[in-house]
């Protein structure tokens, strides 16, 4: 159940582009044609699926507060979380390099369609952001971490596919000159983000009580995510008590 | 102006408008959108990026002749990551509430396209002093857009600036609220940041027609 919930939550509600704006630069630069957008999106799913679980392992067994306890009880107080940034980015850069070498050797067709994007992805905010959010939301198991990586990637893929399709179509529309290209893309992405906000009520309906879901619109999005998360936890606890 | 030649001054003034990292070079969009819900985080983010970009550019420029080309991305990432860790620790020590508000976006400065973009495009091929100036110029250009977006989002979204309610009190219905004005809470949400930047681009390209795409 948790898996399905995390899967849909990461694709639609916590969408990397529309909710947290990660990976905007390559999103804007590569979305001029659908074919290249598909290539980049697929590469992002691939890299996220590999790096998020790896970084989860790093976080749980090396970086977290008290993580080093498996080395010996005297290491229980070590908190290496300040090294997270450097460790995560090092893993990502290395994995991307490795993946590129492996794909080039064993699947040259895949390499020809993905290959040029792979080095670009190492510095894509979405990849590092996926790992950082995995850490800050305290994902509990390796399976959930893999789930989170894949579903965040799918959400990003959906977003870039949609904007590329729209951009291809509006090339023939009458956009005012100063808005042409970049300006109209921003506004369209904004409108799409508004559309995706409608998914916010998706996971809290059903036989749960109404009082558990209250999105307070005036607070910044960060807090909204935390409040909905708490609401879902409260709902889960209530369900357990009922059973 | 002994220290700054004409070309050097251009390094600082170009990124302010004509070669603005966000609206023209299309770099650094992620943080421009995410942290600008209020004015204070926008200012802090701009200062953080200035620290990382200016010092990072100088360091990369100083060692540019001894970096092996195959690992230059990794070297750039490591230097950026180290500087960002410093910024993050300083923020956590002196402004804890703010660092909670900025949360993962401080870490994401590492992959901020402006940092990697300027390292790659400028610092690797230019002298340390010019790289430093380029870093300052681009981060000020970045900061200007962040502050404009943060200003409008906070003013229209919560009726305050830097935390001080400037339009009167919405609870006691003083100031503008007495006439029935309500805060536009929508401005605080993600999509409006995108649309605000779209409008800024619109205004900029209307005034500087050289930037219009075909």
- Long-range CB pairs of A97-105, under 8 A, 24+ apart, other chains included: A97/A122, A99/A46, A99/A47, A99/A50
Distance of CA B206 to the CA centre of its chain: 23
What is this structure's pTM?
0.77
Identify whether the C-beta of residue B134 lies closer than 8 Å to the C-beta of residue B118.
yes
Q: What is the pLDDT of residues A207-227, one digit of tens each?
A: 444 443 344 444 454 554 555
pLDDT at A215 (0 to 100):
42
**pLDDT of B188 higher than 90:** no
Q: What is the pLDDT of residues B130-156, one digit of tens each?
A: 899 889 999 999 999 999 999 999 888
Give ipTM to 2 decimals.
0.82
| Cβ–Cβ contact B18 with A under 8 A | no
How many angstroms separate the CA of residue B1 from the nearest CA in chain A?
37
In the block, residue with structure tokens 């800024």: B200
Token readout for B165 is: 């309610």
Identify whether the C-beta of residue B97 lies closer than 8 Å to the C-beta of residue B78.
no
**Contact residues, chain A, for B78 at CB < 8 Å:** 86, 89-90
**Contact residues, chain B, for A193 at CB < 8 Å:** 190-191, 194
Give the residue on B whose Cα is nearest the Cα of A187. Answer: B195
Q: What is the pLDDT of residues B84-117, one digit of tens each?
A: 989 988 988 988 888 888 877 888 888 788 888 8
Report the residue from B28, B198, B206 with minimal CB separation from A190.
B198
Higher pLDDT, B150 or A32: B150
**pLDDT, chain A, mean:** 79
| Cβ–Cβ contact B38 with A under 8 A | yes
């Amino acid at each position: 159940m948790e898996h399905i919930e995390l899967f849909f939550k990461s694709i639609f509600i916590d969408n990397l582009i529309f909710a947290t704006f990660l990976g905007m630069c390559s999103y804007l630069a590569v979305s001029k044609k659908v074919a290249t957008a598909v290539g980049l999106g697929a590469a992002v799913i691939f890299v996220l699926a590999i790096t998020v679980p790896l970084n989860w392992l790093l976080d749980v067994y090396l970086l977290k507060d008290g993580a080093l306890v498996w080395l010996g009880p005297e290491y229980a107080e070590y908190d290496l979380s300040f090294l997270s940034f450097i460790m995560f980015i090092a893993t990502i850069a290395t994995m991307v390099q490795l993946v590129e070498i492996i794909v080039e050797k064993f699947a040259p067709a895949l390499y020809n369609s993905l290959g040029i994007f792979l080095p670009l992805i190492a510095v894509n905010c979405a990849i590092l952001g996926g790992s950082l959010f995995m850490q800050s939301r305290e994902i509990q198991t390796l399976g959930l971490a893999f789930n989170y990586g894949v579903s965040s990637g799918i959400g990003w893929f959906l977003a870039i596919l949609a904007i590329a399709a729209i951009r291809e179509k509006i090339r023939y529309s009458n956009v005012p000159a100063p808005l042409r290209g970049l300006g109209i893309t921003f506004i369209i992405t904004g409108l799409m983000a508004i559309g995706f906000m409608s998914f916010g009520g998706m996971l809290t309906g059903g036989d749960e009580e109404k009082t558990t879901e209250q999105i307070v619109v005036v607070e910044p999005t960060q807090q909204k995510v935390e409040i909905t998360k708490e609401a879902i936890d409260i709902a889960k606890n209530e369900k357990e008590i009922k059973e | 102006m002994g220290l700054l030649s004409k070309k050097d001054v251009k390094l600082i003034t170009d990124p302010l408008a004509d070669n603005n990292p966000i609206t023209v070079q299309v770099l650094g969009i992620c943080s421009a959108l995410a942290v600008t819900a209020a004015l204070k985080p926008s200012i802090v983010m701009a200062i953080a990026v200035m620290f990382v970009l200016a010092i990072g550019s100088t360091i990369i420029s100083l060692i540019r002749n001894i970096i092996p080309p195959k690992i230059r991305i990794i070297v750039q990432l490591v230097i950026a990551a180290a500087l960002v860790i410093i910024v993050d620790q300083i923020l956590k020590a002196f402004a804890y509430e703010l660092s909670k508000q900025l949360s993962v976006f401080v870490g994401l400065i590492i992959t901020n396209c402006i940092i990697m973009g300027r390292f790659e495009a400028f610092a690797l091929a230019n002298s340390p002093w010019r790289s430093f100036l380029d870093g300052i110029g681009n981060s000020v250009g970045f900061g200007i857009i962040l502050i404009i977006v943060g200003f409008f989002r906070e003013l229209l979204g919560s009726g305050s600036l830097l935390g001080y309610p400037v339009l009167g009190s919405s609870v006691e219905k003083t100031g503008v609220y007495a006439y029935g004005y309500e805060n536009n809470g929508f401005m605080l949400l993600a999509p409006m940041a995108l649309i605000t930047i779209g409008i800024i681009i619109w205004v900029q390209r209307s005034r500087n027609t050289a930037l219009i795409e075909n």
